Amino acid sequence: MQTEAERWDAWRRHENTANRVIPYATLGISTLLALVVPAPGQQPAALLLGVCAVAVGWCAWLGRSVVTAAERPGRMTGYLTGLLVLAAVLVLVSPWYGFFAWTGYPLSFSLRGRRIIAGVAATAVISATAQGGGLPDSAQHLLLWALVVLFNLVLAGAVGWFGVVNARQSEGRKVMIDELAEANGRLEAALRENEGLHAQLLTQAREAGVLDERQRLAREIHDTIAQGLAGIITQLEAAEQTRDRRGEWQRHVDTALDLARESLTEARRSVRAIGPAQLDQGRLPEVLADLVEQWSARHGVPARITTTGTVQPMHPEIEVTLLRTAQEALTNVAKHAGATRVGLTLSYMPDQVTLDVRDDGRGGAAGTAGNGDGGFGLVAMRQRIDRVAGRLEIESEPGGGTAISASVPALAISIPEPAHPTSDPEPAHAVSDPAHAASVAEPAHAASVAEPAHAASAAEPAHPASAAVATGAGGAA
């Protein structure tokens, strides 16, 4: 199916062909009529055929110049001028050549501007002379000739005006079609470019996804298998040193076996991108309390945790980040700090949740050395916190202990309260008092939370410089 531009170009080719053929056709018809049916006062046939021969030569010589005025306006004007002069001579030879003179109308409309008016006017005068039987030879004939000229001018002018308007509209449509074709070409080029960009973005997204998954697995391996193996090695080394004391040796071996089982379970859950098992069994404060208790028993270092604010269930990613941060911080304390006391504070605030870990160990470079893995422990900790738009601050000085503060957004998960009968106000009062309910359901843990002052004093580092660092970290959080 042809496009609009192709149809327009085909129409222009047909028009140019017609403009080249019409002069020959009208000249042949006029000559045939002049020879078969001679008009009154017609000139001799020899003169008639001689002028016709000149007209044929003119059309053959400049006929290829019949093109649009925008392409060759000068040659088109010269061709039409010569053709009209020949038509005027032929009309004087025989009025039958008025048919040939009519060729001036379509050729005039191929011009531009005022040249169209001049061509139409000249053609009208020549056609009126042919229609009047030649030049006027009396006043009455002159009046008749003038009326015919006027009629031809009006009729040709009206037709020409509509033709010019139509031609302009056609030219406008052609320009618009060309612009649309150009715009479509640019659009197709843009679409091809967008396809390339889309493929590039898909590749980059795929690479980013692979990199993100690698980083996730690296963090999970570090937080589960690496820490577990480090703990197992520590316990086995301790068991080796207490081989002559059966009780202590067995305790270290049992602890190493427990660590191995826990590490294996966590490794399996990490591969499946499942969160820590502890968070499936309890809330974050309870899980951190169990972690601190187990860590303290395993390493023989007193450690306490204090929870402040209204405890709310957070988004799983938030709770996993805080749990892994606490695990990494305690692992660093066990391997590098040489601390005698450790204190953790979990603070629930309206817009953020903060975890502070303080120790009274060696501090300085020892406090930020990582896990003996080239510092990846702190890198993984910072990556986890950055992933949830949190903030990590570490303060440490030689001999003054280390304070780590992790702040993350408080993305709480709303849990609908269970429905209670309206006729029993007492259970509703019990549910609306979460502190009382917690104290009844979990007396041991509630006691640790209910006495923050005592817990804080127990966890307070003995060294004055360590206390100053802890206070600064807590204030920054």
Q: How far is CA 200 from CA 194, 212, 457, in A?
A: 9, 18, 58
Task: Place 236 in a pLDDT band, splitting at 50, 70 and 90.
Answer: confident
Burial 77-102, CB ≥16 within 10 A → b, else e: bebbebbbebbbbbbbbbbbbbbbbb
Look at 46-55, 341-350, 393-402, 444-453 and tell me which has the smallest mean pLDDT: 444-453
Residue 159 has pLDDT above 50, yes or no: yes
Q: Could you give the CA distance from residue 247 to residue 258 in angstroms, rounded to a whole number? A: 17
Query: Coil, strand, or helix at residue 355?
Result: strand
Closest by CA position to 301, among listed 260, 331, 263, 346: 331
Q: Could you give the CA distance from residue 75 to residue 65 in angstroms, rounded to a whole number? A: 6
**Type of residue at 26:** T
8: Cβ contacts below 8 Å, ≥ 6 apart: 170, 173, 174, 177
Helix 139-221 vs helix 376-387: crossing angle, to nearest 10: 130
Residues 345 and 470 sit within 8 Å (Cβ to Cβ)? no
Residues 333 and 378 sit within 8 Å (Cβ to Cβ)? no
Q: What is the DSSP letter of 337?
A: I
- Alpha helices (runs of H) in 222-276, residue ranges in sequence order: 227-241, 246-271
Pairing of strands 352-359, 402-409: antiparallel
Q: Given this model, what pLDDT does residue 85 score? A: 92
Q: Could you give the CA distance from residue 304 to residue 460 in angstroms, rounded to a whole number? A: 10
Residues 379 and 238 sit within 8 Å (Cβ to Cβ)? no
Closest by CA position to 440, among listed 452, 430, 454: 430
- Of residues 203 and 330, more confidence is placed in 330
Q: Could you give the CA distance from residue 208 to residue 201 in angstroms, rounded to a whole number? A: 10
Q: How many CB atoms lie within 10 A of CB 351?
A: 7
Half-sphere exposure of 445 (CA within 13 A, CB side): 21
Closest by CA position to 354, among listed 220, 224, 219, 475: 475
For residue 42, report the phi and psi dihedrals to the nearest 5 degrees: -70, 145
Q: How far is CA 152 from CA 104, 214, 352, 427, in A?
A: 13, 90, 94, 109
How much is the average pLDDT of 435-445? 35
Helix 227-241 vs helix 316-332: crossing angle, to nearest 10: 30
What is the longest distance spanned by two Cα atoms in the chain?
Answer: 154
DSSP 28-43: HHHHHHHHHSPPTTPP
Task: Place 472 in a pLDDT band, splitting at 50, 70 and 90.
Answer: very low
Residue 73 has pLDDT above 80, yes or no: no
Q: What is the pTM of this model?
A: 0.41
**Type of residue at 84:** L
Percent of the chain exceeding pLDDT 70 equals: 73
Token pair for residue 370? Answer: 């990582």
Query: Coil, strand, or helix at residue 273?
Result: coil
Task: Place 277 in a pLDDT band, splitting at 50, 70 and 90.
Answer: low
DSSP 444-459: HHHHHHH-HHHHHHHH
Q: Given this model, what pLDDT does residue 22 score? A: 84
Q: Could you give the CA distance from residue 255 to residue 31 in angstroms, rounded to a whole number? A: 125
pLDDT in tens, 99-152: 888 888 888 877 777 777 788 888 888 888 888 777 777 777 788 888 888 888
Q: How far is CA 389 from CA 274, 383, 385, 392, in A?
A: 21, 10, 6, 10
Averaged pLDDT of the chain: 75
Q: How far is CA 182 from CA 70, 174, 176, in A?
A: 21, 12, 10
pLDDT in tens, 162-217: 767 776 787 788 788 888 888 988 999 999 888 888 888 878 777 777 777 677 66
Q: How far is CA 197 from CA 186, 187, 190, 205, in A?
A: 16, 15, 10, 12
Burial class (CB in 10 A: 0-12, 13-18, 19+), 182: exposed
Closest by CA position to 381, among listed 215, 212, 219, 209: 219
Q: Given this model, what pLDDT does residue 3 score? A: 66
Q: Could you give the CA distance from residue 317 to residue 118 in angstroms, rounded to a whole number? A: 87
User: For 142, left (φ over 0), alpha (ψ -120 to 50), or beta?
Assistant: alpha
Q: Given this model, what pLDDT does residue 437 score? A: 34
Question: Which domains are seen in the chain, by residue range?
Answer: 4-135 (no CATH), 283-412+424-476 (3.30.565.10)
Q: Given this model, what pLDDT does residue 421 score? A: 46
Q: Could you give the CA distance from residue 247 to residue 254 in angstroms, rounded to a whole number? A: 11
Residue 345 has pLDDT above 90, yes or no: yes
